[in-house]
Amino acid sequence: MANEIENFLLIKGKNISEIDKYIDDNGALDFDRIIPLKDETTNDERIDAWGVKWKSDEFSLRDSSKNYRVYSFYTPWNAPDKIIWKLQELHPNWLIQNFWIHMGEYLGIVYGDSEEFDGNAMDGWEYTLEGYSELLKDHLDYSFCKSLTDFCNGEVKYLQEILDEEDREEEKKWMQEDLIFYQKLKELIESEWKLISV
């Protein structure tokens, strides 16, 4: 895939099982069921409609309860902001947030009920880890914390394992940078936990 955006989609509220009607037979979130497009649509037309040029990839349920679900998935280049906003329009009583990470370097949130923060990683609404603390404290819903912490733990473990087997210096360099990123992200989430749980 092109430059990957790792997305974490939180849906919180009543009757959240209704999200299932947007999930296809392969278990992926089908953008075409949220914003239908004609057959043989171009990449540019999909970007205009969905915010991304392809459908979601590696869609999976990360965490759930009666009143919330957290999913993870990948999209190319950008977060699917227009899909998130349309979902909110279709389900106004849900809290919907999409937390995204771009290449272990930038991160941000797309809100279902606000265009204050654009989810497009290439359009400027992006945060480095240094600017992340205030974003987390002021905006990120508490229900995300466990899923994001588990994800960071998984990435750290995976990167540590492949670093031990990698001989190429250039590859080791970016792996080490990613490892530091996810370690710091986990620390920030845990250090801000109390601030967002009240």
Residue type, 103: M
Domain extents for the chain? 1-126, 140-198
In this prediction the pTM is: 0.73
Contact 145, 76 (CB under 8 A): no
CA distances from 198 to 29, 105, 134, 156 (A): 31, 29, 16, 28
Q: How many CB atoms lie within 10 A of CB 108?
A: 25
Does the domain at residues 1-126 carry the CATH identifier 3.90.1410.10? no
- Residue 167: predicted pLDDT: 72
| 39-81 pLDDT per residue, tens | 888 989 999 899 888 888 888 887 777 888 888 888 888 888 8
Surface-to-core class of residue 11, CB atoms within 10 Å of its CB (0-12 exposed, 13-18 middle, 19+ buried):
buried
Regions of the chain with pLDDT less than 50: 1, 116-126, 195-198
Q: Tell me the percentage of the chain whose pLDDT exceeds 90.
A: 7
